[in-house]
Amino acid sequence: MSVDFGPAGIPFMTEKEYNETFEIHKKSSSPSAWNPRSWGRKRWAGALLGAGIIVTAIVVPLKVARMNRYPSYSKLEYSLVDTYSGESFFDSFEYGNGTEATHGLTNYVTKEGAEWSNLTYATSSQAIIRVLPKDSTGTAGRPTVKILSRQRYTHGLFIFDIGHVPHGCGTWPAIWMSDTDPDIWPKHGEIDIIEAVNQGNKGAQFTLHTTDGCEMGVKRKQTGKTLSNNCLNSTNYNMGCAVRGAPGSYGERLNDKKGGVYAMEWRTAGIRMWFFSKNEIPPDIESGKPEPSEWGTATADFPSTKCDINSHFKNHRVIINISLCGDWAGAPPVYREEYGCPMECAEYVGSVPEAFEDAYWAINSIRVYTAPNS
């Protein structure tokens, strides 16, 4: 069959073919074809299926994109700004005194009291912070120490070289950062860099505490175990959003290996923390030129995806303390059931002083680095 084409390359139609094509178009374009009231079941099913396909094609990629969002931890140029080490270590700190807000059997002593009781002292290589390992105590609590840096920080890279960590039933040691001004907490957040309770043999815990609006149920890159995702301080008995490191990241196992290094990077993109055992410390840390982008996956990762880091964290001091008993370490489900400690916590802390021989920090150094545009 031959077909005739017009000058524009369009085939000619016979009158009959034209009329048949017009009728088909007329029927398919009739108002009833576009009026849902006139649709049968098949047309409705087809329309709904098509709509579902369109919605799925739009929504699913959006959800995937949201789930895969992750901030850019691009390389920063860090410079050393503060070093806490040597015999002058404690000159850069103030001493807290009195009791702890966490309801422990803790009596923080003054600088004079700590020096007189030999609870704090520094050599050319280490600073020691300890619990009094002698004498029974009364309701005032066992003498111990809490120190707070005079300097305040917003952003930075913090390197803690630790030779020995406190451990033992009833202890609750921590190295952390927060704004300690009255009535501020937790408006400016809290960053727990090294924290554990009792024997600490389950590993160090890394935690953020904030006001509402900071969540970590997002894509993260970390080796530690997530314990909770909501950083709001009032949830889960003030647990915050917590990550636990490997068992060797704290306690007797760590001390047997002569300690290790903990690092915390705090920047607009997020907050990340690492633990390195003594034989795994990156060479750039030891050379004084730390580069987190070379350290591999963090132990704990708190990205800014659903948490505005800059609005939740600011104006922090470095805080080092050893609390005793209290809301976490002394809680019966933790003290007795989880860690198998004897007596009641307050009784044990008050009447077994020799149990606190190993309840001390030995800090080789703390170094703080900052970078522009962090």
- Taking alpha carbons only, the member of 374, 228, 211 closest to residue 300 is 228
Calpha distance 123→280 (Å, rounded): 25
Q: Identify the CATH assignment for 79-370 out of 2.60.120.200, 3.40.1210.10, 3.90.700.10, 2.60.40.420.
A: 2.60.120.200
**pLDDT value, residue 5:** 42
Q: Determine phi and psi for 111, rounding to 5 degrees.
A: -60, -45
Q: Count CB-CB contacts under 10 A for residue 123.
A: 11
Q: Other C-beta atoms within 10 Å of 24: how many?
A: 10
Q: Other CB atoms closer than 10 Å to residue 153's CB: what's the count?
A: 19
Question: So what's the pLDDT on residue 53?
Answer: 72
Of 122, 180, 175, 127, the residue nearest 151 (C-alpha): 180
Task: Count other Cβ atoms within 10 Å, centred on residue 121.
Answer: 15
Alpha helices, DSSP H, located in the chain: 15-28, 41-67, 111-116, 252-256, 283-286, 309-312, 326-329, 332, 345-351
How far from chain centre, in Å, is Cα 129? 25
Residues labelled catalytic: 190, 195
Distances (CA, A) of 162 to 96, 105, 250, 278, 281: 22, 25, 11, 9, 12
CA nearest 276: which of 347, 345, 204? 204
Strands 127-130 and 360-370: antiparallel
**Bridging pattern class, strands 270-277 and 300-303:** antiparallel
Q: For the sheet containing 316-324, what is the strand order?
A: 93-95, 146-153, 316-324, 171-178, 190-195, 205-209, 241-244, 225-226
The type of residue at 229 is N
Plot region of 243 (φ>0 → left; ψ -120 to 50 → alpha; else → beta): beta
Host H or E run for residue 55: helix 41-67
Within 13 Å of residue 336, how many CA atoms lie on the same side as its CB?
10
The length of the chain is 374
Grouped pLDDT means (10 residues each) for the chain, 374 residues: 44 55 52 62 71 64 64 96 98 89 88 96 98 85 96 98 98 97 92 98 97 97 98 89 98 97 98 97 97 97 98 98 96 96 95 96 98 94
